[in-house]
Amino acid sequence: MEDHSSYTERITLDEGDVDYRGLMRPSALLRCAEHMATAHAWELGMDKAFYSARQMVYLVGRQAFQFLRVPAMRETVTLTTYPEKTRRGANKRVLVVRSLDGEEMARVDTRWTLVDTTASKIIRHIPEDMERYWSDTVEWELPLQVPKASALTSAGLRRAAYSLCDTNRHINNAAYLDVACDALPLEVVEQGPMRYAAVKYHRQVPLGEEMELFYGPAESEDGPGWYVAGRREDKAAFELFCRF
């Protein structure tokens, strides 16, 4: 029987995948994680029509990434996604990025939630045919906690504009990394490429709507970093902690 417990593709980073340093953007890494999860499911017949017919959709609740070495423009890497069977309503998927020599360069730990689009409720008992290929356990994981800042500075309003939104007509999860980098002072971003971040996605920001952004220094168990949050209608849209 063919092994479908993981899925691999190879990509070469292009201009749109890198920042002004010529290094992979954090948002590009998270887009890779999203693409690989989708491509893996589609290969097994679980495409958009499959979920639509069942009134289901997968949404990202939490996510964390770590760069061990940041890939550069025109570098070719392999992407492998490893899904774990759903536990307590969350489906863990880990993306591992490797060089062509097998060097591990980055990991992304994503927690997906399957939602009933009619009842707007989390589906905790996943149909067996949707998870029969997934591993019982995927050992890799990253810290998903988002330490808060004790004092916040407003970075102004950000609209869910055309360039940030996806086919669901709201800000794409990966785009929040660009939003966060834009919100932080330039002298913070210029400390070096972002090496680690953990994100909580609370509420969607629909196309055309606005949120107010805030940032401040924060402390984690692994050292100091920065907290960024977006709020819409007095409620959190997203929260992020990152280190450079």
What was the pLDDT predicted at 89? 87
What was the pLDDT predicted at 1? 57
- Do 126 and 171 fall within a single domain? no
User: What domain range includes position 180?
Assistant: 153-243
Going from the first residue of the chain to its last (244 residues), give the mean pLDDT of each consecutive group of 10, the final group possibly shorter.
89 97 98 97 94 94 98 98 93 97 98 94 89 92 97 98 95 97 97 96 97 98 97 96 98
The first and second tokens of residue 125, run together, are: 């008992």
The burial class, CB within 10 Å (0-12 / 13-18 / 19+), for 213 is: buried
Tell me how many domains the chain contains. Answer: 2
Helix (H, G, I), strand (E, B) or coil at 177: helix
CA distances from 159 to 60, 148, 164 (A): 21, 23, 9
pTM across the whole model:
0.95
Confirm whether 141 is domain-assigned.
Answer: no
What was the pLDDT predicted at 69? 98
- Do 108 and 178 fall within a single domain? no
Name 99's Cβ contacts closer than 8 Å, sequence gap at least 6: 71, 75, 77, 78, 105
